[in-house]
Amino acid sequence: MKPIAAALGCGMLLAAASASAEIAVMESGKILYVDKFERVDREVTLYLTGGGVVTVPSEIVLNVVPNEIVEEKGEEPERAPLFPQLDEVIAPAAEKYGIEPALVAAVIWAESSGDPNARSSRGARGLMQLMPETAKELGVTRILDPRENVDGGTKYLRRMLDAHAGDVRVALAAYNAGPEAVRRYRGIPPYKETEEYVSRVMRVYDRARGAAE
């Protein structure tokens, strides 16, 4: 059995996880109880409740939900809203800039998997992976503060939407590859990373909207 598969299988046995644990919902439909997780670039490291650590591609971690939220509401983890623990951070920014909370949550999922301390090798930081210079221009003084980071990232996403007539896909491409690349190609740049990014965010956005409804 491959290391990732073995770790995922072990995670399914942790049924007696503590109420404070988080639930990581995997693309396969399996769930893992984790004490914490960390996102670096496009990999997520999961620290399993009961012992064990596994690092997986970020794309296969579909949601991270506090166990107590699932227990209190009686929800199936895979059907729970995307990052309900971030509602108090996402909702004000989404309302302030007139963007659906589900879209903000989907961008957070793609950028950081919901890890407020996420970092990239390029220097991006926080839930919405702001570059220091961009954060400064957006008025974000504490880049790792979830509220400031999400406010700044949502503000920037609003700019991208306004600059591209509300076209969500093109705005997402600009968020990922930069507005100059979108201007140069007059649409989504033919970069594999950007094309995959837009597809991933849109897929999760649709799912997040369904869960919210």
Q: What's the pLDDT tens digit per position in 116-173?
A: 999 999 999 999 999 999 999 999 999 999 999 999 999 999 999 999 999 999 999 9
- Total number of residues shown for the chain: 213
Q: At what angle do helices 87-97 and 146-163 cross, to 10 degrees?
A: 30
Evaluate whether 61 touches 31 at the Cβ level (below 8 Å): no
**Could you identify the residue written with the tokens 């999922």?**
109
**What residue spans define the domains of the chain?**
3-79, 84-212
User: What is residue 2's DSSP assignment?
Assistant: -
Residue among 111, 137, 195, 196 flagged as catalytic = 111
Torsion sign (Cα): 43, 48, 53, 54: negative
Q: Which residues are within 8 A (CB) of 80 and not within 5 positions of it... i.e. 6 or more apart?
A: 25, 63, 65, 69, 70, 73, 211
Can 3-79 and 84-212 be said to share one CATH topology?
Answer: no
Rounded to an integer, what is the distance from CA 198 to the centroid of its chain? Answer: 13
How many C-beta atoms surround the C-beta of residue 205 within 10 A?
22
pLDDT > 90? residue 196: yes
CATH number for the domain formed by residue range(s) 3-79: 2.30.30
- 84-212, CATH topology level: Lysozyme (1.10.530)
Burial class of 133 by CB neighbour count within 10 A (0 to 12, 13 to 18, 19+): exposed
Amino acid at 142: R
> 95 an active-site residue?
no
pLDDT at residue 212, rounded to an integer: 59
Torsion sign (Cα): 198, 204, 210, 213: negative
pLDDT at residue 78, rounded to an integer: 72
69: its two tokens = 């939220």
Evaluate whether 143 touches 132 at the Cβ level (below 8 Å): yes
Q: In what side-by-side order are the strands of the sheet with 53-57?
A: 53-57, 43-48, 31-40, 22-26, 61-66
pLDDT per residue as tens digits for the range 23-51: 999 988 899 999 999 999 999 999 999 99
Phi, psi dihedrals of residue 3, rounded to the nearest 5°? -55, -45
pTM > 0.75? yes
pLDDT > 80? residue 75: no
